[in-house]
Amino acid sequence: MTDSSVNWTLQTRAVALGRPEGPGAPLNQPPVLASTFREGGTDYARFGTGSHHAFEVAIGALEGGAALSFASGMAAAAAIVETVPLGGTVLTADNLYHGVRSLLGDLQQAGRLRDVRVDALDPAAVEAALPGADLLWIETPSNPLIQVLDVEELGRLAQRHGVPMVVDSTFATPLRLRPLELGATYVVHSATKYIGGHSDLLMGVVVGRDEAALAPVARRRQLHGAVPGALESFLALRGLRTLAVRLDRAEASAGVLAERLAQHPAVTRVCYPGLPDDPGHDLATRQMSGYGAMLSFCVASEDAADRVLAGTRLVVMATSLGGVETTAERRNRWNEGTLTGLIRVSVGIEDVEDIWADLRTALDALDD
């Protein structure tokens, strides 16, 4: 960052950083559509190009570290998992993105590593499991229960036992949680979600304290070829420019919807840390600078959940999250054994009254 930019707020950094500088420079980093380069600079696109670099500069400045972009969130996660030694142990929060869970499960089955689950809401349980572990992997707020984990406390414990800690911060975005300041070794984002923000690309990012900390994953990216495309990098950076305004609006609407859902007779439970009686509320208030725009709610049965989702028109039944459009899905499709009748909602930026009217109509129809 240049001198004055260290004083800029995160909102300003998201808009201003990662742009070409100097007289006559374009305001936006153009997509670099080249696989190879003349001798003397970047050699080959798999080692990283200007398209990747501009995005990485902006994300690094938001997280307070150095960033490395990947072809998807899973490619980013897999690069970190690859740094675990053969036969090593990955300690995982039991509420985790299903793709990461499946990856670790496959690797465990192949004898590559051990996936040991722990109740990460209970720091004493994590501390008891840390000795001998090679990596601690947590996600907050978590998927799909929107649980909030104490990153600072878990980071302190991990450091005490010399275990690197990964925080999947996809739901929080770089604007609501700063895991590196709280003790994370690596921060992971699926940039497919809020950072891209328009459901039109796949990308991931890993952030570490500095380039040296990133070196092992940079090596993995280079050799696995998990680099993002130039157009994806361009679009993800363009998405990042509006992250602050998109998130402010979606989050304000999520707060309104969570309160109204909690009052609806067909809703048995709402998971949203912005609600004062949510178990994660106090921690989220201390640890985050907002509660995010992801919420889950339960209706009486899986069948009722399917009927609600079939009854909405504006709210699109679709997986994934973090786009400008409100999407929802019955999460037991993926996370087997999660709460019965749980519907996860990614609140978008439409008018909140239209989103509520759509959900309420579908919920009211359960009575018929």
Ligand X SMILES: *Cc1c(COP(=O)(O)O)cnc(C)c1O
Residues within the interface to ligand X (CB under 6 A): 72-74, 97, 99, 139, 143, 168, 170, 190, 192-193, 202, 204
Residue of 168, 176, 178, 330 marked active site: 168
| Minimum distance from residue 172 beta carbon to ligand X (Å) | 10
Active site residue 368: no
Backbone angles phi, psi at 114, to 5 degrees: -115, 135
| Minimum distance from residue 142 beta carbon to ligand X (Å) | 8
- Pick between residue 296 and residue 363 the one whose CB is nearest to ligand X: 296
Nearest Cα to 177, choosing from 274, 93, 284, 70?
A: 284
| Minimum distance from residue 106 beta carbon to ligand X (Å) | 15
- Pick between residue 139 and residue 150 the one whose CB is nearest to ligand X: 139
Active site residue 291: no
| Minimum distance from residue 277 beta carbon to ligand X (Å) | 25
Residue of 13, 97, 101, 246 marked active site: 97
- Pick between residue 290 and residue 323 the one whose CB is nearest to ligand X: 323
Contacts of 224 (CB under 8 A, 6+ apart): 75, 78, 79, 82
Residue of 13, 101, 176, 193 marked active site: 193
Contacts within 8 Å (CB) and 24+ apart, 362-367: 362/307, 362/308, 362/309, 362/310, 362/311, 362/312, 362/315, 363/264, 363/266, 363/267, 363/299, 363/308, 364/266, 365/307, 365/311, 366/266, 366/299, 366/300, 366/304, 366/307, 366/308, 367/266
- Pick between residue 328 and residue 362 the one whose CB is nearest to ligand X: 328
Indicate the residue whose CB is closest to ligand X. Answer: 73
Active site residue 193: yes
Backbone angles phi, psi at 211, to 5 degrees: -65, -35
Active site residue 221: no
Helix and strand counts by DSSP (H, E) for the chain: 13, 12
- Pick between residue 267 and residue 330 the one whose CB is nearest to ligand X: 330
| Minimum distance from residue 293 beta carbon to ligand X (Å) | 13
Residue in this structure with the two tokens 């994370």, named with its chain if needed: 184
Task: Indicate which residues carry an active-site annotation.
Answer: 46, 97, 168, 193
